[in-house]
Amino acid sequence: MSELKIASWNVNSIRARLPNVLAWLDEAEPDVALLQEIKCQSESFPALEIEDRGYNVAVFGQKSYNGVAILSKNPIEDAILGLPGDPSDEQARYIEAVVVGVRVASIYLPNGNPVDTEKFTYKLAWMERLHDHAQALLRHEEAMVLGGDYNVVPSDDDVYDAAAWKDDALCRPETRARYRATLYLGLTDAFRALHGEVGAYTFWDYQKGRWQRDEGLRIDHLLLSPQAADRLLACEIASGPRGRPKASDHTPIWCSLSA
């Protein structure tokens, strides 16, 4: 293997989008796929159909909500279900494992809206736990990709209308500050490392023709440890799946690392 292709995609219900997911796996052929918002319990995940494509599967599911998974053409080792730091947290939002020597995590960070409720408090606390866990992982000095739907718009360049979104939980200063604090541990935003353009998005709402007008947000990210960033060859947003019938409101983002 000369390259390792790692993709992330919030599929917005694996069972509702399974034909699209299978078509994308056939076309894009990622070595690793990090899925979010699968919206099913682990035992209901369509593992057989995905294994038929040559993938191993690790799933952390939850009935009707949330849920994350890792698909890999290579063996999945040392899987960890759930973000450390709060044993009482029952939401299925984090799964981590090692694939061919690279530690990967699939992350579905809380949305946090409305901001005047406990949902925003939960989001910020979750981000603090992610920061602390990433800090601990970085001490191992290994290649690592923390990918997923972060529900964070890092800057005004990453949203079609910054003024309209400034009070949303995805754009609030508290959210952005915690995201930056995690980046400043030494992580690299793979897309921004290679792309400076404004208007590159990974999410378009179903309402008001947002997709047709390309009014989107960049909220899906691949964050790389220094050891992975040194191997970064490419990172792209694959917008094609968003335009298909019965599409997820997110589209895949992927990066490739040298072997």
Residue 259 has a pLDDT of 86
Query: How far apart are the C-alpha atoms of 66 and 148, rounded to whole Å?
Result: 12
Q: Is the pLDDT of residue 127 over 80?
A: yes
Q: Percent of the chain beyond pLDDT 70?
A: 100
- Contacts with 55 (C-beta within 8 Å, 6 or more apart), sequence order: 25, 33, 71, 72, 73
pLDDT digits (tens, 9 = 90+) for 211-221: 999 999 999 99
Q: Is the pLDDT of residue 1 over 80?
A: no
pLDDT mean over 119-133: 98
Residue 216 has a pLDDT of 98
- Contacts with 207 (C-beta within 8 Å, 6 or more apart), sequence order: none
pLDDT mean over 5-9: 98
pLDDT mean over 188-209: 96
pLDDT digits (tens, 9 = 90+) for 137-152: 999 999 999 999 999 9
Residue 168 has a pLDDT of 98
Residue 164 has a pLDDT of 97
Residue 59 has a pLDDT of 98
pLDDT digits (tens, 9 = 90+) for 33-69: 999 999 999 999 999 999 999 999 999 999 999 999 9
Question: Which structural domains are found in the chain, ordered by start?
Answer: 3-258 (3.60.10.10)
Query: How far apart are the C-alpha atoms of 105 and 146, rounded to whole Å?
Result: 5
Q: Is the pLDDT of residue 93 over 80?
A: yes
